[in-house]
């Protein structure tokens, strides 16, 4: 994995003025950090600044919103992307979660200001306020239809909302602790919730009933993911006949990111163990990349890539900083990760550089969502940032 490069968070503004400067640094593991700077030598007729780098760094390419920097000595290369636009009026405090609807038209987000809101993805304009949870909302996401929202709160309740009129249509009760993450099974007849109470539960949306406790691990479950298993993976058989209200659970794996440093995988329908992997610290988040590859991120900054077919040893461990890994999202032929130090970055197989999403300065980026070539992040600084990959 490439050696991390860092840049001043507001580099795009700083380099817009003549003789404007922005700092740079390169962080080779186990070696001293290399520091450098970028200087604007003037603005071209196309509005793009002419930028030079200090010794040891090279500017490969620059556009209005992106700059590609290399540090040849450490074989490091990153493309830094500035936000296309920033939404500052959705929430007043830290934004803990966000999602974008399948059609790309709407966003939903939750904040420590106690609110959950639906907004227009193009301009951040407020559309609906979803009121009904007591205390903070921890997680929110759209169903595949894009018309319905699933949320989980510190009040141990899971709720389903209409995005059209903001009504709460279903409330699931049963957890004894705050809900930390959710997953939607197939088209959403069933959903999974993960809680601080150490359980993951499967729910029937049509009857607003719990179909079962899938796992009870005695440790807070921070993140959950559902994925379709490759044919070669043995998910085991259920001990009892599954309820006819279970829809789409067969051939699905359930992945649990646990506070007790364990990553647990089981058959969603069978409830049988597939593997248990012990990491370096608490697992915060997890995501499937394919029918057998998955990612999981820890509190001490490790991103583990595992193969379900041979999970004893990781395929690779990516460690860019000691900051907690906050979110992981499969993207194209790679993934997007965000961390507690304000970094979020895209790793793609066919690129020999990392794409860094800049703008957050030391504030954790809690969640990332995508729609086509647009990427949205939410941050402790109370901002939603939207990036356009076409700006690369």
Both 195 and 309 in one domain: the answer is: yes
- The residues pairing with 81 across neighbouring beta strands, listed in sequence order, are 66, 357
Residue holding tokens 């860094």? 356
Is 374 inside a domain boundary? no
- For residue 380, is it left (φ>0), alpha (ψ between -120 and 50) or beta? alpha
In 3D space, the residue among 19, 25, 51, 55 whose CA is nearest the CA of residue 38 turns out to be: 51
Both 45 and 178 in one domain: the answer is: no
Domain range enclosing 16: 5-81
Is 227 inside a domain boundary? yes
| 139, 110 contact by CB (below 8 A) | yes
Report d(CA 109, CA 369) in Å as an integer.
Answer: 11
Report d(CA 181, CA 225) in Å as an integer.
Answer: 9
Both 182 and 312 in one domain: the answer is: yes
CATH number of the structural domain spanning residue 238: 2.130.10.10
Report d(CA 130, CA 166) in Å as an integer.
Answer: 5
Is 14 inside a domain boundary? yes
Which of 64, 81, 98 terminates a domain? The answer is 81
Is 113 inside a domain boundary? no
Q: Which residues contact 30 (CB under 8 A, 6 or more apart)?
A: none
Is 385 inside a domain boundary? no
Residue holding tokens 């993207």? 331
Q: Which residues contact 78 (CB under 8 A, 6 or more apart)?
A: 2, 4, 5, 7, 68, 69, 345, 353, 354, 355, 356
Chain-centroid distance, C-alpha 112: 18
Report d(CA 367, CA 373) in Å as an integer.
Answer: 17
| 150, 138 contact by CB (below 8 A) | no
Which of 50, 81, 112 terminates a domain? The answer is 81
Residue 2's pLDDT is: 73
Both 193 and 59 in one domain: the answer is: no
Please tell me the total count of domains within the chain: 2
Which of 273, 299, 319 terminates a domain? The answer is 319
Is 390 inside a domain boundary? no
Report d(CA 43, CA 53) in Å as an integer.
Answer: 16
Identify the sign of the CA torsion 311, 222, 149, 213: positive
3-class secondary structure per residue, 252-264 = EEEEEEECCCEEE
Both 178 and 315 in one domain: the answer is: yes
What Cα–Cα distance (Å) separates residue 208 from each residue in 169, 170, 359?
A: 10, 6, 41
Is 353 inside a domain boundary? no
In 3D space, the residue among 200, 362, 368, 211 whose CA is nearest the CA of residue 287 turns out to be: 368
Is 258 inside a domain boundary? yes
In 3D space, the residue among 36, 34, 42 whose CA is nearest the CA of residue 16 turns out to be: 42
Q: List per-residue pLDDT tens for the chain, 392 residues long.
A: 678 999 999 999 999 999 999 999 999 989 999 999 999 999 999 999 999 999 999 999 999 999 999 999 999 999 999 999 999 999 999 999 999 999 999 999 999 998 999 999 999 999 999 999 999 999 999 999 999 999 999 999 999 999 999 999 999 999 999 999 999 999 999 999 999 999 999 999 999 999 999 999 999 999 999 999 999 999 999 999 999 999 999 999 999 999 999 999 999 999 999 999 999 999 999 999 999 999 999 999 999 999 999 999 999 999 999 999 999 999 999 999 999 999 999 999 888 899 999 999 999 999 999 999 999 999 999 999 999 998 77
Count of residues in the chain:
392
């Amino acid at each position: 994995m490439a050696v991390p490069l860092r840049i001043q968070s507001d580099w795009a503004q700083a380099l817009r003025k003549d003789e404007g400067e922005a700092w740079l640094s390169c962080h080779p593991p186990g070696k001293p950090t290399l520091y450098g700077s970028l200087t604007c030598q003037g603005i071209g007729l196309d509005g793009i600044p002419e930028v030079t780098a200090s010794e040891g760094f090279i500017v490969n390419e620059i556009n209005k919103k992106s700059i590609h920097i290399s540090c040849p000595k450490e074989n490091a290369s990153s493309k830094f992307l500035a936000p296309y636009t920033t939404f500052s009026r959705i929430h007043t405090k830290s934004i803990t979660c966000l999602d974008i609807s399948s059609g790309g038209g709407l966003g939903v987000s939750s904040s420590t200001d106690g609110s959950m809101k639906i907004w227009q993805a193009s301009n951040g304009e407020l559309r609906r306020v979803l009121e009904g949870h007591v205390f903070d909302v921890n997680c929110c996401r759209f169903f595949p239809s894009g018309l319905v929202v699933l949320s989980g709160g510190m009040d141990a309740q899971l709720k389903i909302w209409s995005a059209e009129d903001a009504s709460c249509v279903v409330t699931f009760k049963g957890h004894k602790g705050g809900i930390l993450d959710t997953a939607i099974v197939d088209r959403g007849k069933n959903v999974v919730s993960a809680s601080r109470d150490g359980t993951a539960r499967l729910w029937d949306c049509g009857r607003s009933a719990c179909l079962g406790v899938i796992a009870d691990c005695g440790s807070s479950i921070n993140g959950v993911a559902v994925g379709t298993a490759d044919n070669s993976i043995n998910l085991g058989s259920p001990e009892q006949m599954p309820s006819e209200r279970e829809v789409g659970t067969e051939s699905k794996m359930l992945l649990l990111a646990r506070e007790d440093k364990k990553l647990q995988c089981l058959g969603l329908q069978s409830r049988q163990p597939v593997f248990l992997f012990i990491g370096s610290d608490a697992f915060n988040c997890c995501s499937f990349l394919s029918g057998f590859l998955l990612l999981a991120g820890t509190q001490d900054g490790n991103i583990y890539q595992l193969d379900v077919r041979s999970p004893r040893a990781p395929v690779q461990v990516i460690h860019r900083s000691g900051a907690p890994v906050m979110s992981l999202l499969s993207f194209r032929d790679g993934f997007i990760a965000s961390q507690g130090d304000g970094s979020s970055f895209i790793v793609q197989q066919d690129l020999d550089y990392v794409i860094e999403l800049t703008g957050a300065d030391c504030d954790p980026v809690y969640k990332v969502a995508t729609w086509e070539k647009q990427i949205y992040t939410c941050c402790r600084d109370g901002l939603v940032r939207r990036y356009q990959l076409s700006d690369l």
